[in-house]
Structure formats: structure tokens, C-alpha cells
């Protein structure tokens, strides 16, 4: 499919790289010739230098016959205008990055309708939602949700004291009275889709699928359930910080502090976050952090625009025995380094955005299939994927016990959502039309649920 990416900053470039790796015919549009030269040297893509809202630029990029046009510039207004023009020229589907909170309320539906946008994407809001989920369940390193939170997949690190160490998956399922499935294991750099005889070791990072209530039940059995974070320090008054604090205010929390250096930004946040404490100061100063109660808080979230600063201050917070740290990092090499330093709850807005757009592109590409992908998450540092499909009546998987279905290697069915019921599957379970099925995959590119079959 032909895809145009207009605006190739950090997030746009990441999206472009992932879509090119998927095998799409990608065209990069950016006003910087240096950016275009770099991208065309790195990836097998075409490049057009120019303004994303200029008709000549869009014509040269081929907007008239593209399947998907994605506007990712720094300007919301430019993104909306370029999507409008591309749609009028003939682009089949358009997606705009819209980050301003003023647009992300009741007016967003109006804008989407009249601009004919397939989707409006907000990386900062998506990152805030991921952080919010982690802080509500601090035992997890990362949480992904499916079908309105009816099923979750969490990443969880096994310590030497964990009751799961030294046991295989069959033993674990028999021992614990909870409906869950260990669907993925990362040991060192290797990721495994385990069978029942796989034995867990200390240091393994495991992926668990379960409903929210069953996940809490299991963590309680393992003595690994931590209380929800309530007293939270957020470093940096970014859009992500605003969205995160707003989410806590919506659930009645008043224990959130934001530390921001810029006086005007502090005033703006104070005006829109009445239940959040806004502190003006340099959060890089350890004395200020200690004065604001770092050593007694439940969680520290580092959201400055500098990855290195986020890493160092999260390490400092860990040294003060803060129970949970969450670190925003966009550069892949720094994210890997941070995890080696013990900072495992790392959030990357560009990865979140890229996953959404890869999912959308796969769904478009396989729209004629029986059950195209509806949700996609990159998990375990991008080494595996968790995908959700809605199963159509004509699917070959329906009405057959799972034990009789021949799956490709490195594929596992991790959950079935049937109406309001969540099923952690066994070999005797069957998929029926209308089910939503979560599939865990490594080393496979899935666009339709039929792709899991040998």
C-alpha cells in the first residue's frame, strides 16, 4: 500500500521506518532537505522536500492515489490542513496528529467529521494513558489492554524470591486458582512463546494475560501486588504531564505534583489542573526533589524533553527507594541502556504511535480478509506482538477445539473475549463467530487471524 508520511521528526521518522519495514510503499515529506536525505539513505523510501500543505508538494508525493496519508508535523493546524487537501486530492484515508488539549475535547469529533479524518492521533495523550495504567497497577512493568479492559497483558519481572521460579507452566496453572496464561517469556535477548513444559527462571520477564480482576487475584497469591500509586511526583510540565495529571483528577486523586521550571507554563497548568500541586523549580536539583517529598512518594514520573535527564533523575529516585519510577525515553539506544540500569518501566510516545499506525495499515491492507487486526501492541522491546482480531463467521478457526488447530511456530492464542465474558483458553475451548481473539506472536507478521494457521 502507498503511504505518505508528512512531517518526519522523531515520531514521524519512527512511524516511517516501521511502515517501510512492513513492506509498504512509503513516501516521506518534510520541509528539511537534510531530513529527507537522511531518511532516503537509511530506508527504502521516496522523499519529497516541501511544505505538507502545499498542493504542488502533495501532487509530487502522489497524494491523489495513496491509500493512507499521515500528517505528523509539529503543528496541529498544518496537520489538519494537509490531511484536508490530501483527501480532496484523492487520498483514501487520512490521519492527523492533533496534540493540543483544546482540540482533544468535544470539538475533536466535529473536526474529524468535517475534515474526513480516519483517525486523530495524540502521542502525548496515549503515553499518559499508558503511564496511568502502570501507576494503577505498579506490580507491572508494562500493561496493554484489549476490548475495553476486559483482557490485559502485563509484563512482569521474576525475582529470585518469586514462587514461579523453577516451575514449568503446567505446574503453575495447576497450583494457582486464577484464570491466567503465561503467553510470552523474555530471557536475556531471546523471546519465547512457551509451551507447558517451559520452566521459568529468576530474571525472566514474563507476559501474563488475564482479566483485570484475575490479574490482581494472581498477584495477591504471589505476594506481588503493590498498592496503587497515589502520591506522585511528575517532573516536567509537558503535554504528557498535563494529560496524566488530568486523568488522576478525573478519578478523584489529589496527590499529584508537577515540577516545572518555566513560570508561564506553571501558570497555565495551575489554571487547568485545580487538584494538582504545581511547583515552580528545577527538578534536576536533588535538593528540590527531596524538599517536595521524593523519598516518601509512591511514584516518580520523569517527563522532561531530554532523555538523558529523565534517565538520571529516575535512577536518583530509585536510589531514594521510590517504589515505582516511570521514564519517558524516545531514543531506542537510550531505552536499552536505561533498562540495563534497572529502569524497566520505560514509555516511548513514538513507539506507541507507531504501533497504532502499523495496526491501522495492516487492517487496511487486509480489509478483505475474514478477520483483520483491530488492535496491535509491540511487546517485549518490540520482539513480539500482541494482536486482537474480531472473528468473522467465515473464519476457518470457528467451531474447532483449539487443540485441533495447527498453528504456525511462535504463535499462541492468549485470550478470547465473548461479549462480557473473558476466556483464558484451554485446548478444549472453541472460537465462535463474533469473538475477539488475542494472539501473541514472535517472528510472524499477522494481518488476518487466518495467518496464524500453518
Per-residue cell: 69? 496519508
123 pLDDT more than 80: yes
381 pLDDT more than 80: yes
Per-residue cell: 84? 484536508
Q: Which pLDDT value is given to residue 101? A: 83
CA distances for 148 relative to 203, 251, 349, 390, angstroms: 31, 17, 21, 14
Q: Which pLDDT value is given to residue 369? A: 60
Q: Which pLDDT value is given to residue 447? A: 87
- Picking from 246, 245, 255, the residue whose alpha carbon sits closest to that of residue 297 is 255
- Residues 80-105 have pLDDT tens digits of 999 999 999 999 999 999 998 888 66
Beta-bridge mates of residue 29 = 6, 48
Q: pTM for the complete prediction?
A: 0.90
- Residues 263-286 have pLDDT tens digits of 999 999 999 999 999 999 999 999
Q: Which residues of 297-306 are buried (b: 16+ CB within 10 A; e: fewer)?
A: bbbbbbbbee
Q: Which domain CATH number covers 273?
A: 3.40.50.720
Kindly state whether residues 217 and 154 are assigned to the same domain: yes
Return the percent helix, strand and coil in the chain, to nearest 5: 35, 25, 40
Q: Which pLDDT value is given to residue 255? A: 93
Kindly state whether residues 212 and 145 are assigned to the same domain: yes
What percent of the chain stands above pLDDT 90? Answer: 79
CA distance 271 to 282: 20
250 pLDDT more than 90: yes
**Mean pLDDT over residues 118-127, rounded?**
93
- Picking from 330, 258, 256, 269, the residue whose alpha carbon sits closest to that of residue 15 is 330
Domain annotation covers residue 369 = yes
Query: Is the separation of the CB atoms in 334 and 360 below 8 Å?
Result: no
364 pLDDT more than 90: no
Kindly state whether residues 194 and 141 are assigned to the same domain: yes
CA distances for 255 relative to 153, 202, 361, angstroms: 27, 35, 40
Kindly state whether residues 182 and 292 are assigned to the same domain: no
Kindly state whether residues 262 and 213 are assigned to the same domain: no
Task: Name the residue range of residue 436's domain.
Answer: 362-452
CA distance 162 to 205: 12
Q: Which long-range contacts (CB under 8 A, 24 or more apart) does 125-128 make?
A: 125/99, 125/239, 125/240, 125/243, 126/349, 126/352, 126/353, 126/356, 127/240, 127/328, 127/347, 127/348, 127/349, 127/352, 128/240, 128/241, 128/243, 128/244, 128/246, 128/247
Reported as a pLDDT band with limits 50, 70 and 90, residue 336 is: confident
Domain annotation covers residue 345 = no
Kindly state whether residues 386 and 440 are assigned to the same domain: yes
Domain annotation covers residue 53 = yes
Kindly state whether residues 298 and 314 are assigned to the same domain: yes
**Mean pLDDT over residues 362-386, rounded?**
82
Query: Is the separation of the CB atoms in 43 and 106 below 8 Å?
Result: no
Domain annotation covers residue 106 = yes
**Mean pLDDT over residues 326-354, rounded?**
91
Q: Quick one: which H or E segment has residue 351?
A: helix 349-365
Which of 138-152, 161-175, 176-190 is least confident?
138-152
Tell which wins on pLDDT, 401 or 111.
Answer: 401
- Quick count: other Cβ atoms within 10 Å of Cβ 394? 11
Kindly state whether residues 35 and 98 are assigned to the same domain: yes
The number of folded domains in the chain is 4
What does pLDDT average to over the chain?
93
Q: Which pLDDT value is given to residue 59? A: 97
Kindly state whether residues 113 and 131 are assigned to the same domain: no
Per-residue cell: 302? 520523569
Query: Is the separation of the CB atoms in 272 and 304 below 8 Å?
Result: no
In the listed set 74, 97, 121, which residue is the last one of a domain according to the structure?
121
Q: Which pLDDT value is given to residue 148? A: 73
Kindly state whether residues 116 and 39 are assigned to the same domain: yes
CA distance 89 to 61: 11
Domain annotation covers residue 424 = yes
Q: Quick one: which H or E segment has residue 206?
A: strand 205-210
In the listed set 121, 154, 171, which residue is the last one of a domain according to the structure?
121
**Mean pLDDT over residues 235-257, rounded?**
95
189 pLDDT more than 90: no
In the listed set 221, 248, 275, which residue is the last one of a domain according to the structure?
221
CA distance 351 to 361: 15
Reported as a pLDDT band with limits 50, 70 and 90, residue 367 is: low
- Picking from 9, 1, 5, the residue whose alpha carbon sits closest to that of residue 349 is 9
Amino acid at each position: 500500500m502507498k503511504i505518505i508520511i508528512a512531517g518526519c521528526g522523531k515520531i514521524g521518522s519512527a512511524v516511517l521506518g516501521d511502515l517501510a519495514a512492513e513492506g509498504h510503499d512509503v513516501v516521506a515529506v518534510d520541509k528539511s532537505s537534510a531530513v529527507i536525505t537522511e531518511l532516503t539513505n537509511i530506508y527504502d523510501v521516496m522523499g519529497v522536500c516541501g511544505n505538507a500543505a502545499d498542493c504542488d508538494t502533495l501532487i509530487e508525493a502522489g497524494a491523489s492515489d495513496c491509500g493512507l496519508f499521515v500528517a505528523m508535523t509539529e503543528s496541529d493546524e498544518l496537520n489538519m490542513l494537509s490531511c484536508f487537501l490530501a483527501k480532496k486530492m484523492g487520498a483514501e484515508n487520512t490521519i492527523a496528529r492533533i496534540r493540543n488539549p483544546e482540540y482533544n475535547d468535544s470539538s475533536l469529533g466535529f473536526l474529524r467529521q468535517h475534515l474526513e479524518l480516519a483517525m486523530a492521533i495524540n502521542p502525548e495523550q496515549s503515553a499518559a494513558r499508558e503511564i496511568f495504567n502502570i501507576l494503577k497497577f505498579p506490580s507491572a512493568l508494562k500493561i496493554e489492554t484489549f476490548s475495553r479492559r476486559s483482557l490485559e497483558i502485563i509484563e512482569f519481572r521474576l525475582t529470585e524470591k518469586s514462587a514461579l521460579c523453577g516451575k514449568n507452566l503446567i505446574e503453575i496453572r495447576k497450583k494457582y486458582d486464577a484464570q491466567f496464561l503465561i503467553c510470552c517469556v523474555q530471557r536475556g535477548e531471546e523471546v519465547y512463546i512457551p509451551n507447558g513444559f517451559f520452566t521459568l527462571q529468576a530474571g525472566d520477564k514474563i507476559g501474563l494475560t488475564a482479566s483485570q480482576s484475575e490479574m490482581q487475584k494472581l498477584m495477591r497469591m504471589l505476594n506481588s501486588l503493590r498498592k496503587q500509586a497515589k502520591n506522585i511526583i511528575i517532573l516536567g510540565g509537558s503535554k504528557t504531564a498535563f494529560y496524566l495529571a488530568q486523568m488522576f483528577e478525573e478519578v478523584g486523586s489529589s496527590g499529584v505534583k508537577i515540577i516545572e521550571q518555566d513560570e508561564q507554563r506553571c501558570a497555565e497548568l495551575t489554571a487547568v489542573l485545580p487538584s494538582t500541586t504545581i511547583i515552580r523549580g528545577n527538578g534536576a536539583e536533588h535538593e528540590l526533589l527531596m524538599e517536595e517529598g521524593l523519598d516518601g512518594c509512591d511514584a516518580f514520573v520523569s517527563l522532561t524533553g531530554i532523555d538523558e535527564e529523565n534517565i538520571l533523575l529516575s535512577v536518583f529516585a530509585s536510589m531514594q527507594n521510590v517504589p515505582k519510577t516511570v521514564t519517558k525515553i524516545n531514543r531506542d539506544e537510550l531505552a536499552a541502556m536505561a533498562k540495563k540500569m534497572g529502569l524497566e518501566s520505560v514509555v516511548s510516545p513514538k513507539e506507541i504511535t507507531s504501533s497504532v499506525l502499523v495496526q491501522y495499515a495492516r487492517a487496511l491492507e487486509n480489509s478483505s480478509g475474514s478477520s483483520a487486526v483491530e488492535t496491535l501492541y509491540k511487546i517485549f522491546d518490540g520482539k513480539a506482538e500482541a494482536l486482537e482480531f474480531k472473528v468473522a463467521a467465515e473464519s476457518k478457526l470457528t467451531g474447532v477445539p483449539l487443540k485441533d488447530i495447527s498453528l504456525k511456530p511462535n504463535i499462541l492464542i492468549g485470550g478470547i473475549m465473548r461479549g462480557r465474558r473473558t476466556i483464558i483458553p484451554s485446548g478444549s475451548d472453541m472460537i465462535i463467530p463474533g469473538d475477539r481473539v488475542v494472539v501473541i506472536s514472535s517472528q510472524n507478521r499477522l494481518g488476518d487471524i487466518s495467518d496464524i494457521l500453518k
